[in-house]
Structure formats: C-alpha cells, structure tokens
Amino acid sequence: MVKNILLACVLTAAGGYLLGSILFGVLISKVMYNDDVRNHGSGNAGMTNVLRTYGKLPAVFTTIGDVGKSVAAVNLGRFIFDAMLSGTGAAWQNPLDPVCGAYLAAIFCMIGHSRPIFFGFKGGKGVLVGAGAALATEPLVCAVLLAIFLIEVAVTRIVSLGSIIIAALYPVGTLINLIARGANLPTILFSTICCVIMAAMVIWLHRSNIERLKNGTEYRFGQKK
C-alpha cells in the first residue's frame, strides 16, 4: 500500500505540474496580439500583467484559464488518490482523504505555473492558481478570502498586498474548515502543510512587491506610470 501511496503522489505531482505549465496569459497574448505578455510590465504571465498590458477582456480570458487549469489539476489529484488508495482491503486502512491529492496537485500546479516546462520555465506568481485550488477544495474558505481581497484592493488599490494577505490567511482558513468538518488528523496535517507550502510560494514570488511596499513605491491599480 505504501507503494500505491508513492505512485499516487508521483502521478498527482506530474499531472499538476504539466497542467500548471500551460500559461494562458502567454497563449492569449500570442493568439490575440502576436506578442508575449512577459515582454511587458512586470515580466510575469499572470492576469494582473495581462490587464495592465492589454486590457480587461484578455485578463478575463486569462483568469478563466488559470483558475480552470487549477480546478482541473485539483480534481485530477483527488481522482488519482481516490482511485489508487480507496481499496476496501481490511489489512490496511488508508488514512488520507482524497482531498490530500487535491492539495498535492495544487502545489505542483503552482510550481508549473511559476516554472513552466512549456514556456522556458518563466511564468507567473500563481495567485489565481491558488485561488482555483481553494475554490475546488474549500469553496467557503475561497469566498471569505475573496471578500477580504476585494475589500483590501478597494481600500488600497494594491493588488499585490491583497494577494499576500490572502496567501497568509489561506492555511489558517483551511485548517479551521477541516477541523470543523471533522477530518481525521493525518488529512488535517497533510492538507495544512500543503496549504502552508502554497502560501509560502506565493509570498516568496512576491518578494520584490514586498520590497516596493516597504519603500512605498508599489503600483496601485489605475495608477498612471
């Protein structure tokens, strides 16, 4: 059974990474403008840079694509864990809920988004990918974090600050929700560790934004450069 767990983890990680490596920001900029969004602005392939560079419609398409690939990765991970580890044999009881596969897939989807094998290992910061994972695994937590994000952006107009705040709150919200749902201890530990890793990745990829926030030079949405 340990062999099955390892194989499920490898397949989940591979599937999540490959899905994450599909950069919709780059694909949309190439299809619609024969350009690469990474050549502009922050150099990232995320929605915010697409919005600043090309406008609202390409940003909407990018959002749908990045969230969609994350949801697909999460569901794939859940399916793999469920199919490979839900045997009914009485000799060994699998302690991990299929949602653990969802969180593992989300981590590697974010890694793929930030270091995509299909696009020269230069991608985005993974905020929307993390949002898609939260939506597919913990919709209530996702709704609360979205409300916090929108309030923060409405008040400060700093998108990066909102992204950092909700990344930091994500593991806390997930932990509370898992405990409230009565998840077993191995599932709570595995899922919370995955969420902490995801949050750390988002915050680390925003380190240049954090430096600008300290200096008071961070871009505010709608601000003319």
Is 85:7 a contact under the CB 8 Å cutoff? no
Q: What is the DSSP letter of 115?
A: S
Give residue 55's pLDDT: 94
CA separation for the pair 66, 56 (Å, rounded):
15
Determine what percent of the chain is predicted with pLDDT higher than 70.
Answer: 95
Give residue 131's pLDDT: 87
Mean pLDDT of the chain: 91
Q: What CA–CA distances, in Å, run from 46 to 25, 67, 107, 202, 205?
A: 6, 11, 17, 12, 12
Give residue 104's pLDDT: 96
Q: Taking residues 11-29, what's their average pLDDT? A: 97
Determine what percent of the chain is predicted with pLDDT higher than 90.
Answer: 72
Reported as a single tens digit per residue, the pLDDT across 194-223 is 999 999 998 998 999 999 999 988 888 777
Instruction: Give SS3 for 203.
Output: helix
Reported as a single tens digit per residue, the pLDDT across 26-62 is 999 999 999 999 999 889 999 989 998 999 999 999 9
CA separation for the pair 199, 141 (Å, rounded):
14
pTM above 0.95, yes or no: no
Q: What CA–CA distances, in Å, run from 196 to 46, 103, 112, 146?
A: 21, 11, 17, 18
Is pLDDT above 70 for 224?
no
Is pLDDT above 80 for 192?
yes
The alpha-helical segments, DSSP class H, found in 42-158 are: 47-54, 56-85, 99-114, 127-137, 139-156
Domain ranges of the chain: 2-215
Reported as a single tens digit per residue, the pLDDT across 77-110 is 999 999 888 764 544 567 788 999 999 999 999 9
Angle between helix axes 127-137 and 139-156 (nearest 10 degrees) is 140
The vertex-45 CA angle with 41 and 51, nearest 5°, equals: 60
Tokens representing residue 11 in the block: 């397949």
Reported as a single tens digit per residue, the pLDDT across 125-164 is 888 898 898 899 989 999 999 999 999 999 998 988 999 9
Q: Provide the b/e sequence for 53-72 (b: ≥16 CB within 10 Å).
A: bbeeebbebbbebbbebbbb
User: CA torsion angle for 144, 145, 148, 149 (degrees, to 10)?
Assistant: -140
Radius of gyration, alpha carbons of the chain: 18
HSE-up of 222 (CA within 13 Å, CB side)? 6
